[in-house]
Amino acid sequence: MKKDIGPVQRDINAVLEDHNAELMALPGVVGVCISLLEDQKTECIKVLLARKDRNLQKRIPRMLEGYRVVTEVTGEFRPMGTR
């Protein structure tokens, strides 16, 4: 995984597309999306985790091609049942 901390060079959608498969391959990762940092202005890549896991968080880069990467524990995703 390219872990640049330099200035943003490419569109965040292209960066996510290029890194999605490798991030999703990490056990415990249940999703990856584009989000905003706390300032509600700056785009980032958010990695969704099934549970809090320090070892997993150490494997996730803090930056990808100039974009911050943040994690959020969401739990597992399951399809809604039908009635």
Write the pLDDT tens digit of every residue in 11-51: 999 999 999 999 999 999 999 999 999 999 999 999 999 99
Nearest to 5 by CA among 69, 64, 71, 70: 64
- The answer, as to whether pTM is greater than 0.75, is yes
Contact 67, 9 (CB under 8 A): no
Nearest to 1 by CA among 33, 24, 35, 27: 24
How many domains does the chain fold into?
Answer: 1
Domain residues for the domain of 33 are 12-73
Q: Is residue 18 part of a domain?
A: yes
Q: Is residue 4 part of a domain?
A: no
Q: Is residue 37 part of a domain?
A: yes
Q: Is residue 62 part of a domain?
A: yes
* Exposure class string for 51-63: b at 16+ Cβ within 10 A, else e: eebeebeeebbeb
